[in-house]
A and B are shown apart, each in its own frame.
Chain A
Amino acid sequence: MQEILRLKDIVKCYRLGGQEQVVLDNVNLTICRGDFIAILGPSGAGKSTLMNIIGCLDVPTGGRYILGGRDVAAMTEAQLARVRNREIGFVFQSFQLLPRLNALENVELPLIYAGLPRRRRRELALAVLERVGLQDKVYNYPNQLSGGQQQRVAIARSLVTDPALILADEPTGALDQKTGQQIMALFQELNADGRTVVVITHDAQVAGYARKILRIVDGRLFPGEVDLAGQREHIDVLG
């Protein structure tokens, strides 16, 4: 399968009060086109740091990150912005929609930075909103939408630039269980359409929707079991 990105011996350290703290410890990860990977771990295990590095929001202290054949460490700030815009679609726990923009405008936002003309932006944004089932809510503002609908808008926004990878950080964290299941089902559908999805979560049930689970414990990444039953796994076995 075609490789999208490869993390090689990634190390991330923070200096906290003169003490060096290793957050990511020699992480190796390869993501290929069509993957649906869940990175499962308790809070403080380094999930968010890993997501930030994959999402080019943060740079590793050591190791190499190859994205689409290019070394991320060699990229300028502007090039990184371009990568975030074109290659990666972010979905956040708290949706991160701009309250003053309606659903359509929120979805169009990445396309503005991609420099697309208005008409084309509208076309693409409407198409992805339809894909997530919100074709009749396009002019609603975030506060006129339910949590699940807001997350669908956010997913539409992540899809709109047709990125190589959708990176979701606790996408169900702010939703009730039923809505969360619907959102995860949507990710499954998107994956079935051929999209590459990485979900970062502390919830084994959420991780169960993925085709492949990786566990992160104390900054180290381990392969995990696919939880076919969708039941809660006991992650402390490895901790």
Chain B
Amino acid sequence: MSWANIVNNKLRSALTMLGIVIGVASIIALITIVQGATGAITDEISSLGANILTVQARGTPLKPGLSANDLDRLEAIADVRGVSPTISGYVSVSHRDKVLEAMVQGKNELYFRERPVQISAGRAINALDVDGANRVAVIGSDIARELFYGQNPLGRSLRIGGSTYTVVGLLAPSGGFALGSTNKAVFIPYTAAMKTLGVRTVSSVEVHMADVARADEIIGQVEAVLLESFNYREQAYSIFNMQDALDVMKDVTRILSLLLAGIASISLVVGGIGIMNMMLVSVTERTTEIGLRKALGAEPVQIQIQFLTESVILSLGGGLAGIVMGLLIACAGSWFIGIPFRFSATTVIAAVGFSAVVGVLFGWMPARKASRLNPIDALRHV
């Protein structure tokens, strides 16, 4: 019965549904895109390792950074797999007449072992390179193309700052969304970088933990080493835990999702009012029918159910169309922004539930009005 009325007022039903379609589509699209983006970012952060502590040393006037001895002491902490210092600088990198500015990063062998960097040709930086401060470099695909276009860079010389290095490895092209790719990177042993860049101490070091479960203890011991090293000045260093960053990230995106969903819900409410409006018109139009049904023995509650069913069908239909449309928008949007498209079943189920609730909520008043019509007045209508 409810269905027949919807079919008989196709255009009106479609227009009424449109409000719900737009509301649900915008919620689905926004949440899917936000979740896709945060998923991509958190995945990337996780892939970098939730087991890594990053120590930044600002140093004191007497001691600008960490010494080799400090690094040894950090490495000696129980459940620390190793430490990976970074010496970086933005310097000119050249091959023959080709010159460009690049971020040169001094690392040790641990970095290449722990991080998901892919060597496509040649080799990574090894422990011998680090110990001997060998002037060898591993370069990203963009750097290779720009400096060594058309030739194999392996074994060729590369001038970094004032020193001459030899290219020993090539990195595979990488994607990367949040923290940038390694395509423009130039990696050299950190010991060599200290000489080339004229740096005597290390100001940034990653501590790789063997057991993430013991992170708090390890952080405590790292702090103890640093405090002693910097003469008990707490402001001389900071420790950054990747897991904390992930947690903050998740909080932020949760709030963002809720906020966006809240804004999009406004359009759903507007759509609901549209349904209520149509249902009220429908009740008025069908006064005689309602009166007749009552005369034939329909109880008020049966009339009410008939009209409620109608509005729930409308809103649910709109909701389903909105989900399809929202997912299409999200798919196109993700592709356009360049983030992965992630289908979230929870969001879809919530949208279906929400549109059904809108149908009941906004259909309630018209349905009640219909059920309370006096059959005599209703039949006299004609």
In contact, A77 and B382 (Cβ under 8 angstroms): no
**B15 close to chain A: CB less than 8 A:** no
Identify whether the interface residues of B are mostly helix, strand, loop, or mixed.
helix
Per the bound structure, the CA–CA distance linking A113 and B302 in Å amounts to 8
Docked complex Cα distance between A77 and B374 (Å): 11
Q: Which residues of A contact B49 (CB under 8 A)?
A: none
9-residue interface stretch from B21-29, B186-194, B286-294, B344-352: B286-294
Q: How far is the CA of A30 from the CA of B37 in the complex (A)?
A: 80
Q: How large is the interface on A (under 10, 10 to 19, 20 to 34, 35 or more residues)?
A: 20 to 34
Q: Which of A2-58 contact B (CB under 8 A)?
A: 52, 55, 57-58
Contact: A57 with B289, CB < 8 Å? Answer: no
Which of B292, B297, B302, B379 meets A98, CB within 8 Å? B292
Is the beta-carbon distance between A81 and B292 smaller than 8 angstroms?
Answer: no
Which of B8, B288, B293, B301 has its CB near the most chain A CB atoms (within 10 A)?
B293
A109 at the interface (CB under 8 A from B): yes
Contact with B along A58-97 (1 / 0, CB 8 A): 1000000000000000000110011011100010101010
Majority DSSP secondary structure for residues of A touching B: helix
Q: Mark B361-382, 1 if CB is under 8 A from A, else 0.
A: 0000000000000011001001
Cβ-based interface call for A100 (8 A): yes
Complex partner residue of B300 from A78, A101, A114, CB under 8 angstroms: A78
Query: Can you list 17 contacts pairing A with B, beta carbon distance less than 8 Å?
Result: A55-B295, A78-B300, A81-B300, A81-B302, A82-B297, A84-B295, A85-B297, A85-B298, A92-B379, A94-B382, A96-B288, A96-B295, A96-B379, A109-B296, A113-B296, A113-B297, A161-B297
Show the binding face of A for B, using Cβ within 8 Å: 52, 55, 57-58, 77-78, 81-82, 84-86, 90, 92, 94, 96, 98, 100-101, 109-110, 113-114, 157, 161
CB-CB < 8 A to A81: which residues of B?
294, 297-300, 302
Nearest residue (CB) in B for A87 is B297
Whole-angstrom distance between the Cβ of A12 and the nearest chain B Cβ: 12
> Which chain B positions have C-beta within 8 A of A96?
288, 292, 295, 379
Closest CB in chain B relative to A81 CB, distance in Å? 4
B139 shortest CB reach to chain A, Å: 76
Q: Does B213 contact A (CB under 8 A)?
A: no
